[in-house]
Structure 1
Amino acid sequence: MVSQLQIGDQFIEAQELVTILAGCQVLPNLLKELIVERAIAPIPCTKEEVTAACQKFFQQHQITSAESHEAWLQRYGMNHPQFQAMATRQLRIAKFQEQTWGHKLESYFLQRKKFLDQAVYSLIRVADAGIAQELYFRIQAGEQSFGELAKEYSLGMEAHTYGILGPVELGALHPALAKQLQVSKPGQLWHPTNLGEHFLIIRLEKLLPAQLDKFMRQRLLRELFETWLKEQVEKLGDAEKSWLVAKSQGVVQSVA
């Protein structure tokens, strides 16, 4: 059995279409969208949710009447059920994420927390170990403030903020720097540390522990969803990729 896609009077084999899409670097995103559609297909929405989603779409696209809605549907070759599916897509994705990973979120959050905690810290970075030592002792002795020395000597963007950086997630920092901040107490001044081409003087100002609030839940659910989606794409064989791509076009002919 051979699957074909018809575009006008031209027929393209599904496998050939896969090759074309891959060459245009479109295939990975297309496959992701198709996998998502298959996953959320069974997810229901209430009448109220459908109505709210459609109204939101109308507002975003300035569809103000039944006539303009029908014209929009005709323009994009879509019927009402297809339109409702499109309008509720993000809601059904959110429901799928919650149903699939919601019960695992607390344990996942605890695993990720050390990377999600944020820090506000002061930093001076210089290229010379001797200068770093001198600046450290000046700060320790109270001869000059950290901010004054950072403004005068630091080689990074922190020179413009009197040494203050953050809040920034620890997971976004160099692992060595993040580890140092994790074990710091507010106000603790660290002896100069060599990191790459620079010598760093660090002082933790404030540690802001991550909280599993509404926004963090949404973020972590998206993380788990994206990881799952990547795995699903990697699992697909060539035959299934061909079938999914051809099916997505809405015009698949099976020829025995």
Structure 2
Amino acid sequence: MNKTLQLGDVYDGRSGSAILPPEIIPFLASYNLIPQLLSQSIIESAIAPITCTPAETSHALEQFYQQWDLNSEEKIQSWCLRYGLTQEQLELFATRKLRVEKFKQITWGHQLESYFLKYKRHFDKVIYSLIRTDNRGTANELYFRITEGEQSFAELAHEYSQGPEAETSGIIGPVEVGTITPNFAQLLCTSQVGIVQAPVAFGESWVIVRVEKFITAQLDNFMRQRLLQENFETWFQQQLSQLSAEEKTWMGINTKPAQVQQAIAA
């Protein structure tokens, strides 16, 4: 029995619903392209209302022509004929990345500052020194040697620490506070810079820490782009949750999360 696959607002340069012909479905499935197609159709539907100025379109086309070495009108026409694209579709194709960025900015750009301030602590970075051992007595002895000036933190970390930090003389970071387990992050954030903390039990280990430096996160251009992308990915996951059961099966949701991330990045 022939089957069809229907996609809402598929990328064809027009709005509306499209049904893929039956003969193409086995081809897409055999190359595992249906997840990518579904992902791109979700994104294309969202950016359909987004337009570019004539100058933006012209610039995007110039970059596209350079990328594909289309340095003559003849080559451009031949390329469009080969892939079955009209001029309108070509412009949509060339401006797609820009329209995605515009969609991000229009949707979340106005709330970046409040979002950043709300989660700023997670974005702050810390550099710290660490010694960990599974013996409480050893931890107390090492703490005594450091505070009494008998040996440096770095020397003892290199010799005694039981984690990868031994290879860096105890130094870890800079790392974002939000990537650290909450209890340990709390210990670091409540520590004074340069002060060695007495041994504390964490799991099966005893740790001695000294914060070397706090690096305050800034809402610069890099951070803005990161926050826009994070919001975009959260939105995309929400869109996936609204797919039909069959579409979720194609996407491998709950069984192949890496495949979903690959589809986003495609």
TM-score (norm 1): 0.81
5+ residue gaps, structure 1: 243-256
Question: Are 2:143 and 1:128 equivalent residues in the alignment?
Answer: no
Q: Which has the higher contact order (CA 8 A, sep 6+)?
A: 1
Q: How do residues 204-215 of structure 1 correspond to structure 2 at under 5 angstroms? A: 204-215=211-222
Q: 1:6 aligns with which of 21, 30, 34?
A: 21
Aligned partner letter, 1:89: R
Work out the number of aligned pairs and report it: 232
Match of 1:78 in 2: 85
Question: Is this contact kept in 2: 1:114–1:171, CA < 8 A?
Answer: yes
Aligned partner letter, 1:123: L
Identity %: 48
Q: Which moved more, 1:75-84 or 1:219-228?
A: 75-84
Q: 1:34 aligns with which of 23, 30, 41?
A: 41
CA distance in 1, matches of 2:200, 2:67: 52
Q: 1:233 aligns with which of 240, 249, 256?
A: 240
Aligned partner letter, 2:142: L
Q: Secondary structure at the match of 2:90?
A: helix
Match of 2:261 in 1: none
Q: 1:92 offset after TM fit, Å?
A: 0.8
Q: Secondary structure at the match of 2:78?
A: helix
Q: 1:66 offset after TM fit, Å?
A: 2.8
Query: In the superposition, relative to structure 1, how do residues 166 and 59 fare at CA in structure 2: closer, same or farther (>3 Å)?
Result: farther
Query: In the superposition, relative to structure 1, how do residues 33 and 141 fare at CA in structure 2: closer, same or farther (>3 Å)?
Result: same
Question: Are 2:55 and 1:48 equivalent residues in the alignment?
Answer: yes
Q: 1:71 offset after TM fit, Å?
A: 3.2
Q: Secondary structure at the match of 1:43?
A: coil
Match of 1:161 in 2: 168
Q: Secondary structure at the match of 1:200?
A: strand
Q: Secondary structure at the match of 1:206?
A: strand
Question: Are 2:202 and 1:195 equivalent residues in the alignment?
Answer: yes
Deviations 1:92-123 (A, max 9, x none): 11111111111211111122211111001111
TM-score (norm 2): 0.78
CA distance in 2, matches of 1:63, 1:198: 62
Match of 2:226 in 1: 219
Question: Is this contact kept in 2: 1:31–1:233, CA < 8 A?
Answer: no
CA distance in 1, matches of 2:132, 2:116: 33
CA distance in 2, matches of 1:145, 1:62: 60
Question: Is this contact kept in 2: 1:150–1:162, CA < 8 A?
Answer: yes
Query: In the superposition, relative to structure 1, how do residues 188 and 63 fare at CA in structure 2: closer, same or farther (>3 Å)?
Result: farther
5+ residue gaps, structure 2: 7-18, 249-266
Query: In the superposition, relative to structure 1, how do residues 129 and 213 fare at CA in structure 2: closer, same or farther (>3 Å)?
Result: same
Q: 1:127 offset after TM fit, Å?
A: 2.2
Q: 1:70 offset after TM fit, Å?
A: 3.0
CA distance in 2, matches of 1:41, 1:130: 65
Q: Which moved more, 1:171-180 or 1:68-77?
A: 68-77
Q: How do residues 86-97 of structure 1 correspond to structure 2 at under 5 angstroms? A: 86-97=93-104
Q: Which moved more, 1:47-56 or 1:33-42?
A: 47-56
CA distance in 2, matches of 1:91, 1:199: 51
Question: Is this contact kept in 2: 1:148–1:162, CA < 8 A?
Answer: yes
Match of 1:117 in 2: 124
